[in-house]
Amino acid sequence: MSTMLIRKTDHLGREKTRYPGTIISRDSHKIVLACEWPNLPVVSAYGVEFNPGDALIEHFYFDRWCNVMAIYGPRVHAAIDPESLKGWYCNITRPTILRKEEAGNPAEIEWQDLALDVWMSAQGDAQILDEDEFEAIKPDLSPMEVASALGAVPDTIEICRNLWRDNINDRIAAGLTVRKWTVATAESCTGGLIGDALTNRAGSSAYFMGGVLSYDNRIKRDVLHVPQSVLDGVGAVSEECALAMARGVRTAIGADVGVSATGIAGPGGATPGKPVGLVFIGLSTPTEERVERFVWPHDRIGNKRASADAALRMLARLD
C-alpha cells in the first residue's frame, strides 16, 4: 500500500508536526489514511485515554473545511477492532492540499488547522471544542474563512454521525452473527429510519429480515398484535406499547430480535404528560426484553433521527 507524508500547519502555514500515513482509499473528494497515535505520553480527555500505538483512520477532504480522525485501540494482527473505537477528533481546517511526489520528495498532504475542533464519542455524543482559540485567530482570517469555518461545524458533526452509524452497524452485525440471530423492526415515529440505517450496511441481508411501519394504531393492533387494552389505556406512546411492538414484530416476521420505536416527533401531538420528543424504544430477544425512554429536544427530523440512533445503540448492546 502507498504511503504519504502528512503535514499539519497552523492557520499561518507554520508547520506543527508531520507523520506518515498509509493510503486506504482516495477519490476526487477525499483521501483516507491509516496512521498511529504518535509516541507521546498517555493523554486522558473526553472520558477516554489515548495511548501510543492507537490506530487512527484519518479522512482528509479536498472540498470541505475539516478533517476527521477516528481513534481506535491498537491493531490486533494488523486488524482494527470496531469495538475498540474511542471516538472521532475533528479539526476545522482549510480544504486539504495534496502535493504529488516529485524530485525525490514523497507525496504529501497538508492540512491547515483553524483551531476550532469537534469531538464525537463512540456513543455518538458531539461537543464543540476550542472556541476561544478560534476567536483568538479570527483577526488573521478573512470574513469568508471565518464563515466557512463556522459553517463547517454542523457539516463535520454530520460526517461523524454517519461514520458512527457505520461503526455501530458493524458492531450490530457482529453481535447478531455470533448468536446466529436475525432482526426485524417495528417503527412508528421513526418512519422506517431504523430499517434504513440497518440496511445501509452491505451484507445486512444475512440478518435483517424486514420491518413493519405501524404508523396507524390499527397496524399496531392487527399486524403487531398490540393489545387494544394497551392502546385504549396507556396509549400508543408508552413503554407497554413499545414492548408489545417489539414482541409482535418477532412473531409477524419470524425474527429472533425485534426492535421498536413509538413516540411524538412533533411539532404537534403533545398531550398532558406526553411532551413533544417523548419516545420509547423497545427490544425483545430470546434472552432479554427492555424499553428505554427518551425526551428529545430537536425538531421533527432531529427527533426521528435521534430515536433511530437510540435503537441502533440498543441493538449494539445485546446480552
- Positive or negative CA dihedral for 262, 265, 266, 270? positive
Q: Please compute the mean of the pLDDT values over residues 36-54 and round it to a whole number.
A: 81
- Whose CA is closest to 60, among 90, 20, 83? 90
Confidence of residue 233 (pLDDT cuts 50, 70, 90): very high
Most confident of 51-60, 158-167, 284-293: 284-293
Are residue 299 and residue 151 in the same domain, yes or no? no
- Examine the pLDDT at 30 and tell me if it is beyond 80: yes
Q: Which of 134, 149, 172 is the last residue of a domain?
A: 172
| CATH number of the domain residue 284 falls in | 3.90.950.20
Are residue 194 and residue 306 in the same domain, yes or no? yes
Q: List the grid coordinates of 204.
A: 445486512
Confidence of residue 1 (pLDDT cuts 50, 70, 90): low
- 5/8 Cα distance (integer angstroms): 10
pLDDT in tens, 102-112: 766 778 999 99
Look up residue 107 and give its DSSP letter: P
pTM of the model: 0.85
- Examine the pLDDT at 201 and tell me if it is beyond 80: yes
Total domain count for the chain?
A: 2
Q: Which of 172, 198, 227 is the last residue of a domain?
A: 172
Are residue 134 and residue 53 in the same domain, yes or no? yes
257-263: strand order across its sheet: 208-213, 183-187, 257-263, 278-284, 289-295
Are residue 278 and residue 248 in the same domain, yes or no? yes
- Positive or negative CA dihedral for 130, 135, 140, 146? positive
| CATH number of the domain residue 138 falls in | 2.40.380.10
- 153/310 Cα distance (integer angstroms): 23
Are residue 154 and residue 186 in the same domain, yes or no? no
pLDDT in tens, 126-162: 999 999 999 999 999 999 999 999 999 999 999 999 9
In order, the DSSP letters of 252-290 are: HHT-SEEEEEEE--SSS--BTTB-TTEEEEEEE-SS-EE
Q: List the grid coordinates of 285.
A: 430477544
Are residue 229 and residue 129 in the same domain, yes or no? no
Are residue 114 and residue 213 in the same domain, yes or no? no
Confidence of residue 79 (pLDDT cuts 50, 70, 90): confident
Domain that holds residue 189: 180-315
Q: Give the pairing type, strands 3-9 and 108-121.
A: parallel
- The values of phi and psi at residue 140, to 5°, are -85, -5
- Give the HSE-up count for residue 295: Cα atoms under 13 Å, Cβ half-sphere: 5
Q: What is the pLDDT of residue 261?
A: 98
Q: Say which residue, 78 or 176, is predicted with more confidence.
A: 176
Q: Please compute the mean of the pLDDT values over residues 79-108 and round it to a whole number.
A: 87
Residue entry with cell 494482527: 77
Q: Please compute the mean of the pLDDT values over residues 2-18 and round it to a whole number.
A: 93
Are residue 28 and residue 126 in the same domain, yes or no? yes
Are residue 191 and residue 161 in the same domain, yes or no? no
- The values of phi and psi at residue 175, to 5°, are -65, -40
Are residue 161 and residue 241 in the same domain, yes or no? no
Q: What is the pLDDT of residue 53?
A: 85
Are residue 27 and residue 166 in the same domain, yes or no? yes
- Examine the pLDDT at 225 and tell me if it is beyond 70: yes
Q: Please compute the mean of the pLDDT values over residues 57-64 and round it to a whole number.
A: 96
